[in-house]
Each structure stands twice: as structure tokens, then as C-alpha cells.
């Protein structure tokens, strides 16, 4: 019997106007365009400037564009999930604010946080709602204003991150397309290498935490790098093996955009040819929850119905995973 599946039927993104170049970063910290380009592949990233603008503003623009593109009215949306590590406020959920700003009134909405793996976790969560048959129009948005938690005096992290949002619409289908399978994993012991020290219940904000610059991303680059390569490649291969997928069956690999060297090493380990690996890190840097849908948006014109696509991500937690989907249009 054919099973109801959740298909991505539209993708859209939002990129803030301000372009922060490597040359501008050279004026801010002790770094060079040469170092950033060679070690990360990043040339520029977008920054959301302006008072009163937050993650939900980028998310709302991405969602509005998404619904317009598909000709779907906000009233028709049943559920909106936002994956983010930079919510506008600790509560309520940024998803609620995005719904409010886009006129989505008949949906319930909530946030998910799995750091850089957030989008793929949210995608599969949303797909489960669609596959049950009750929800017909589900929006998943990955959005982060990373500039709000990046220390622009720390050269190890400030060169990497950027701001953006990107969203997909999921709809039910009986065709052989959509989200097919996934594998996810978590290792909480990895928190030591990548976290934000203060601002939570462990270390609530105080003068001390501010003086110690603890409200920023803390990252030990090298261990995170090693885990990212081995875990993304490993779990993607496991997912392919479980589904009898050969390398030549894969039309596109969409890796989380954290570092060009990680992306290339992941592709090499999986023996996926370079031209099938989506890369846009040079333009946007690491936008955390937005990287994977931003890739789909950038490459949308090259995708064909039925394409086998592997999405893979690794992030703070540690969290990692891979999703197999068949492109639906």
C-alpha cells in the first residue's frame, strides 16, 4: 500500500542586505582574507543591522515569500516549526512571532533547538505530522541572527557566522517523492566543545557573566571539526546503506555549511563527486539553522523531480543526522 509522504513543495529564503566581507573583518580583528578563505572557504556573510530587528523578522520574510511563491494563504497553514539558537526572546517561541508577523492565524507553532542540526530535526518532525494525514500545510523555517551571539573581538568565531533565514513548505503526497528516511544521533558529552556559557538556568545573566563575555558562542574549533567530518559522512553512509542507495543514485548532497574543508572532506569520504555537493558557504558563512534550506533555495533551479537528495548536518550538542528525500517538483 502506498504511504502518505511529506513533500517539500516550495523553498524560500531571506538574506539581510548588509554584507560583512573578509576585508572588513581584517579591520576588526587580527585576521586576513587569506586565512579565512583558506581555512573556511568563506568570503562574505550577511548581517542583520537595525534596531528592533531580530530572528523572527528574517523568518517572517522567508515565510511570506514562501507562501506567496506557492500561492498559499496564511490561513491555510496548519503548523509552523522554527529551528533556531537565537530566538528573539527566551520565550515565547520565535515560531509564534513569525506566525503573528505573517498573518498565520489557524496554526499552532513552536521552536526546536538542535543547534546546527535543528533544521533537519524540525523537517522530520514536521514530516511526521504530515504523514499522519491531519496536517496539510506545514512550514519549517530555519533562522538565526548569529551576529547577536558572536563575539566580534574573537577571531576564532567571528569570521565564521552569518545571519539568514530560510523556509520550506511541506504538503502531503501519494507520489514516490518527499521525505523518505532519516538517521539522527546525539551525544551530550560534546557540549564541552561548543556552547554558550551563560544566559540559561545554569548561569543566569549577571554583571559577572557579561564581564567574562559568556553570552557568546564558545567553540573549540579542532575537535568540532573532526567530529563534524566523521559523523556527517558516517551517518549519511549508514542511511544510504540501510536503503540500498549507491553513490551513483545520489543527485545531490546537501551538507551543513560550517567550513568548506568539512564540506569537501564529507563529500570525499562519501565518494560523492564535487559537482553534486551543494556549496554556498563562500557567500553566507555558517548561518546555523538556515544553511541547508538556503542551499536548496540557491540550487532550486537545478533540481529535478525525483532527485535523491541527502541532507546532513552536525552541530552543538553534539547533534548530527542525515535525511533522504526525493525532490517533488
Nearer to ligand UT7, 258 or 310 (CB): 258
- Nearest approach in angstroms of CB 225 to ligand UT7 is 4
What amino acid positions are annotated as catalytic residues?
116, 256, 286
Query: Contact, 174 vs 320, CB < 8 A?
Result: no
By CB under 6 A, name the one of 189, 222, 246, 304 that touches ligand UT7: 222
Measured between alpha carbons, how far is 163 from 114 in angstroms, rounded to an integer?
17
| Rounded-to-integer distance, Cα 246 and Cα 240, Å | 7
Residue 56 within binding range of ligand UT7, rule CB under 6 A = no
Secondary structure of 183-217 as H, E, C letters: EEEECHHHHHHEEECCCCCCCCCCHHHHHCCCCCE
Rule CB under 6 A: choose which of 10, 198, 228, 311 binds ligand UT7: 228
Q: List the beta bridge partners of residue 163.
A: 145
Closest approach of Cβ 30 to ligand UT7, in Å? 7
Looking at the Cβ atoms of 135 and 225, the one nearer to ligand UT7 is: 225
Q: What are phi and psi of 169, to 5 degrees?
A: -105, 130
Q: How far is the CB of 41 from ligand UT7 (least distance, A)?
A: 10
- The verdict on 286 binding ligand UT7 (CB under 6 A) reads yes
Check residue 120 for interaction with ligand UT7 (CB under 6 A). no
Which residues are paired to 315 by β-bridges?
Answer: 319
Residue whose CB is nearest to ligand UT7 in the complex, by number = 221
Decide: 137 and 77 in contact? Cβ < 8 Å: yes
Task: Render 9-75 in DSSP notation, one character per residue.
Answer: EEEEEE--SEEEEHHHHHHHSS--HHHHHHHH---EEEE--STT--HHHHHHHHHHHHHHHHT--GG
> Residues 119, 225, 252, 297: which binds ligand UT7 (CB under 6 A)?
225
Applying CB under 6 A, which part among 1-9, 177-185, 197-205, 221-229 lies near ligand UT7?
221-229
Q: How far apart are CA 84 and CA 111, in angstroms?
A: 7
Q: How far is the CB of 85 from ligand UT7 (least distance, A)?
A: 10
Say whether residue 258 binds ligand UT7 (CB under 6 A).
yes
d(CA 257, CA 268): 15
Q: Which of 86, 68, 84 is nearest to 76 (CA)?
A: 68
The contact mask relative to ligand UT7 for 142-161 (x = CB under 6 A, - = no) is -------------xx--xx-
Nearer to ligand UT7, 20 or 328 (CB): 20
117 binds ligand UT7 (CB under 6 A): no
Contact between 37 and ligand UT7 (CB under 6 A)?
Answer: no
Instruction: Tell how far CA 84 is from the center of its chain.
Output: 8
- Does residue number 83 form part of the binding site for ligand UT7 (CB under 6 A)? no
- In the three-class reduction of DSSP (H, G, I as helix; E, B as strand; rest coil), residue 13 is classed as strand
Judged by the rule CB under 6 A, the positions of this chain that interact with ligand UT7 are: 31, 35-36, 39-40, 116, 155-156, 159-160, 221-222, 224-225, 228, 258-259, 262, 286, 315
Amino acid at each position: 500500500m502506498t504511504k502518505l509522504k511529506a513533500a517539500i513543495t516550495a523553498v524560500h529564503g531571506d538574506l539581510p542586505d548588509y554584507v560583512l566581507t573578509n576585508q572588513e573583518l581584517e579591520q576588526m580583528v587580527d585576521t586576513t582574507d587569506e586565512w579565512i578563505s583558506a581555512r573556511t572557504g568563506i568570503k562574505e556573510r550577511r548581517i542583520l543591522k537595525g534596531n528592533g530587528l531580530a530572528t523572527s523578522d528574517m523568518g517572517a520574510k522567508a515565510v511570506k515569500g514562501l507562501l506567496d511563491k506557492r500561492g498559499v494563504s496564511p490561513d491555510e497553514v496548519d503548523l509552523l516549526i522554527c529551528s533556531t539558537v537565537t530566538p528573539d526572546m527566551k520565550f515565547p517561541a520565535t515560531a509564534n512571532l513569525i506566525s503573528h508577523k505573517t498573518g498565520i492565524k489557524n496554526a499552532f507553532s513552536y521552536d526546536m533547538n538542535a543547534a546546527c542540526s535543528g533544521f533537519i530535526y524540525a523537517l522530520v518532525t514536521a514530516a511526521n505530522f504530515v504523514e499522519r494525514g491531519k496536517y496539510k500545510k506545514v512550514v519549517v523555517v530555519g533562522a538565526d541572527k548569529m551576529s547577536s551571539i558572536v563575539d566580534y573581538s574573537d577571531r576564532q568565531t567571528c569570521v565564521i557566522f552569518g545571519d539568514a533565514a530560510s523556509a520550506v513548505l511541506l504538503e502531503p503526497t501519494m507520489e514516490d517523492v518527499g521525505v523518505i528516511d532519516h538517521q539522527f544521533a546525539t551525544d551530550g558529552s560534546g557540549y564541552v566543545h561548543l556552547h554558550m556559557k551563560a544566559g540559561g538556568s545554569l548561569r543566569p545573566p549577571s554583571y559577572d557573566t557579561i564581564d567574562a563575555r559568556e553570552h557568546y558562542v564558545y567553540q573549540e574549533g579542532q575537535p568540532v571539526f573532526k567530529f563534524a567530518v566523521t559523523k556527517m559522512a558516517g551517518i549519511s553512509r549508514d542511511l544510504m546503506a540501510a536503503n540500498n542507495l549507491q553513490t551513483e543514485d545520489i543527485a545531490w548532497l546537501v551538507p551543513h555549511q560550517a567550513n568548506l574543508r568539512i564540506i569537501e572532506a564529507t563529500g570525499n569520504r562519501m565518494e560523492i563527486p564535487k559537482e553534486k555537493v551543494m556549496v554556498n558557504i563562500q557567500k553566507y558563512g555558517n548561518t546555523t539553522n538556515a544553511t541547508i534550506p538556503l542551499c536548496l533555495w540557491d540550487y532550486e533551479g537545478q533540481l529535478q523531480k525525483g532527485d535523491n537528495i541527502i541532507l546532513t548536518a552536525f552541530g552543538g550538542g553534539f547533534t548530527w543526522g542525515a535525511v533522504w528525500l526525493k525532490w517533488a517538483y
